[in-house]
């Protein structure tokens, strides 16, 4: 079980990390960067580590309209479930809520959790359209370990 959890916790490749604007500076020429994963990368991590037949997700809508994702993984004969929720997003509404709830449930298994520990106070230059002029850089501890070649 520890081996699986350690594989879940492995950092993603830099090109698998996406960034969105956080707080903007007063001059609106810089902003903090918030890292996030695409749900497809989370699914791939689950498939790669435990196999596509050893995980499943289920969604429950609450009375307030939030979606709860129950993400279950099978270890041996036992299913372990973690859950988390999200509301509709500004960009993709319900689809965004499903994706966000899924990713948040996966964080409870350690997938992408390290992204929450990135420095959220560092400002990066942005252009007039609110896009980063240069992509934020991940610190060394948030990069995948180099595989040793024999």
Per-chain mean pLDDT for the chain: 91
Q: What is the pTM of this model?
A: 0.86
Give the β-pairing of 67-75 and 78-86: antiparallel
Taking the domains of the chain in order of start, what are their residue ranges?
Answer: 2-131
Residue 30 has a pLDDT of 96
Phi/psi at 42 (nearest 5 deg)? -65, -45
pLDDT, tens only, 39-60: 999 999 999 999 999 999 999 9
Task: Give the CATH architecture of domain 2-131.
Answer: 2-Layer Sandwich (3.30)
């Amino acid at each position: 079980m520890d081996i699986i959890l350690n594989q879940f916790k492995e950092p993603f490749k830099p090109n698998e990390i996406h960034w969105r604007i956080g707080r903007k500076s007063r001059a609106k020429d810089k902003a903090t960067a918030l890292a996030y994963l695409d749900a497809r990368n989370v699914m791939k991590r689950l498939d790669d580590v435990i196999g596509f037949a050893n995980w499943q997700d289920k969604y429950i809508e609450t009375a307030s309209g939030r979606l709860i994702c129950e993400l279950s993984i099978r270890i041996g004969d036992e299913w372990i479930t973690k859950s988390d929720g999200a509301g509709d997003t500004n960009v993709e509404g319900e689809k965004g809520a499903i994706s966000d709830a899924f990713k948040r449930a996966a964080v409870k298994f350690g997938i992408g959790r390290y992204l929450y520990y990135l420095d959220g106070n560092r400002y990066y230059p942005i252009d007039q359209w609110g896009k980063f002029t240069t992509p934020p850089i991940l610190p060394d501890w948030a990069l995948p370990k180099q595989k040793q070649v024999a």
